[in-house]
């Protein structure tokens, strides 16, 4: 099994290939690779990413079938089902790395900022369940002078939400927290730039 640092280096080098237009993606989704995985999997990184169609983890990290355990939900929020999915992968496959992957121009972040700006606006119960999970990490930002600068507010909001999700993963599960403290598991944040294709690792 690889270490969390080796897993992180694989993600970083894969993103460099993607940005440089040197993707090997087709090599790792071929028929032989699919056949090799029929008997099981051993993903070496878990990605909690946003559902945005412009941010598919396998493509932007240039890895394919069997490599990444990907969980996607709008706003890369952390709810019990996501924590349970991460616990499953860590406990079943000894996956050493969790990356919370946010991105620029995130619609869930914008919806939350709009809700802060217009608290009387109505959202569906389901959309509100996403907004309400993002809101606590953005409220203090919204109370600063950033509220007068929408572009910078959105930029800082994406990162604040990523960091909040990282902390929730680290501390909302006793089994994950124990693995983090023992050095068996690394949980970090990252931001994908839709404009440039570059992933900036925050921790």
Q: If we measure between CA atoms, which residue out of 99, 46, 93 comes closest to residue 70? A: 46
Q: Is the pTM value of this prediction over 0.85?
A: yes
Considering only residues 66 and 143, tell me which one the structure prediction assigns the higher pLDDT.
66
**Element holding 186 (H helix, E strand):** strand 186-192
Q: Which domain holds residue 98?
A: 4-201
| DSSP sequence for 66-102 | TTEEEEE-GGG---HHHHHHHHHHHHHH---EEEEEE
* Strand 186-192 versus strand 45-49 pairing type: unpaired
2: how many CB neighbours lie within 10 A of its CB? 16
Distance of CA 129 to CAs 106, 115, 124, 125, Å? 16, 12, 9, 6
pLDDT digits (tens, 9 = 90+) for 29-69: 778 888 888 999 999 999 999 999 999 999 999 998 899 99
Q: Which residues pair with 156 in a beta bridge?
A: none
Domain containing residue 71: CATH number = 3.40.1050.10
Q: d(Cα 58, Cα 114) in Å, to the nearest integer? A: 31
pLDDT at 28 over 70: no
> Which residues are CB-neighbours of 160 under 8 A, at least 6 positions away?
137, 138, 141
pLDDT digits (tens, 9 = 90+) for 70-81: 999 999 999 999
pLDDT digits (tens, 9 = 90+) for 176-203: 999 999 999 999 999 999 999 999 999 7
Structural domains of the chain, count: 1
């Amino acid at each position: 099994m690889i270490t969390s640092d080796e897993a992180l280096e694989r993600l970083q080098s894969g993103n460099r290939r993607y940005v440089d237009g040197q993707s090997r993606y087709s090599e790792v989704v071929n028929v032989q690779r699919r056949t090799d995985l029929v008997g099981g999997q051993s993903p070496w990184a878990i990605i909690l990413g946003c559902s945005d169609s412009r941010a598919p983890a396998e493509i932007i990290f240039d890895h394919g079938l069997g490599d990444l355990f990907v969980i996607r939900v709008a706003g890369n929020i952390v709810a019990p089902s996501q924590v349970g999915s991460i616990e499953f992968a860590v406990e079943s496959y000894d996956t050493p790395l969790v990356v919370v992957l946010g991105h620029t121009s995130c619609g869930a972040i914008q919806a939350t900022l709009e809700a802060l700006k217009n608290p009387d606006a109505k959202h569906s119960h389901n959309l509100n369940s996403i907004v309400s999970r993002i809101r606590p990490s953005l409220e203090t930002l919204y109370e600063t002078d950033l509220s007068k600068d929408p572009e910078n507010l959105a930029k800082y909001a994406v990162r604040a939400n990523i960091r909040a999700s990282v902390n929730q993963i680290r501390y909302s599960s006793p089994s994950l927290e124990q693995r983090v403290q023992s050095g068996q598991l690394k949980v970090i944040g990252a931001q994908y730039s839709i404009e440039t294709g570059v992933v900036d690792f925050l921790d």
